[in-house]
């Protein structure tokens, strides 16, 4: 597992995975390109033998206390082996480095796998956005994690930064 920052050159592979993973509500290529290039974003990819098998993105405006997990996806053939968790932990570590206090996300109500991942990393449901995902007419579950609690729960005795610890678990991330 190798994690690294996403670049514009990854756009084609990211969009192929985006369309395969979110058949009814994939982002447009223009939106994804904008996200990857944004100074407020932090997008990473997961590679295996040179092929892109996952990506994830954080939106964390410098100096802000809130951040959002924008997206996280692992190719179907690579799921269930800890890669999604490693991506999420890398995003949390980056948010911690940026001084964020609370991390938010939205997840489809009919996506128990992603919800289980988020709950296991300390996210809690704080509300719902009825019928948010169209055209499927599915509610969004809004979740929040206290990042200082996340750091304390996972690295209570460590003096190393949360980012260093998460990267050590998840691979190499620049």
Residue ranges binding ligand COA (CB under 6 A)? 21, 72-74, 79-85, 107, 111, 113-114, 116-117, 120
Identify the CA nearest to 124 among candidates 152, 102, 99, 97.
Answer: 102
Classify strands 124-133 and 138-146 as parallel, antiparallel or unpaired: antiparallel
| Residue 88 CA from chain centroid, whole number | 5
Query: Cβ(44)–Cβ(36) under 8 Å?
Result: no
We find the least distance from the C-beta atom of residue 174 to ligand COA, in angstroms, to be 21
Classify strands 66-74 and 102-108 as parallel, antiparallel or unpaired: parallel
Q: Which is nearer to ligand COA, 41 or 159 (CB)?
A: 41
Q: Which is nearer to ligand COA, 7 or 120 (CB)?
A: 120
Q: Which is nearer to ligand COA, 38 or 48 (CB)?
A: 48
Q: Which is nearer to ligand COA, 12 or 82 (CB)?
A: 82
- CA dist 32 and 26 (Å) reads 10
We find the least distance from the C-beta atom of residue 78 to ligand COA, in angstroms, to be 7
Classify strands 102-108 and 51-59 as parallel, antiparallel or unpaired: unpaired
We find the least distance from the C-beta atom of residue 20 to ligand COA, in angstroms, to be 9
Query: Cβ(151)–Cβ(96) under 8 Å?
Result: yes
We find the least distance from the C-beta atom of residue 63 to ligand COA, in angstroms, to be 26
Q: Residue with CB nearest ligand COA? A: 84
We find the least distance from the C-beta atom of residue 166 to ligand COA, in angstroms, to be 13
Q: Which is nearer to ligand COA, 63 or 90 (CB)?
A: 90
- CA dist 86 and 3 (Å) reads 9
């Amino acid at each position: 597992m190798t994690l690294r920052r996403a670049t514009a050159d990854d756009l084609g592979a990211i969009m192929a995975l985006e369309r395969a993973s979110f058949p009814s509500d994939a982002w447009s290529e223009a939106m994804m390109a904008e996200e990857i290039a944004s100074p407020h974003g932090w997008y990473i990819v997961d590679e295996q033998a040179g092929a892109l098998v996952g990506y994830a993105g954080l939106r964390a405006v410098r100096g802000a206390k809130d951040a959002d997990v924008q997206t996280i996806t692992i190719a179907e053939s690579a799921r269930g082996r800890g890669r999604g968790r490693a991506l999420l932990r890398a995003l949390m570590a980056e948010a911690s480095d940026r001084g964020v206090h609370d991390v938010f996300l939205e997840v489809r109500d009919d996506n128990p796998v992603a919800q289980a991942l988020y709950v296991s990393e300390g996210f809690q449901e704080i509300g719902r956005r009825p019928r948010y995902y169209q055209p499927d007419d599915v509610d969004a579950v809004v979740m929040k994690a206290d990042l200082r609690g996340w750091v304390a729960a996972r690295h209570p005795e460590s003096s190393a930064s949360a980012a260093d610890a998460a990267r050590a678990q998840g691979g190499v991330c620049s």
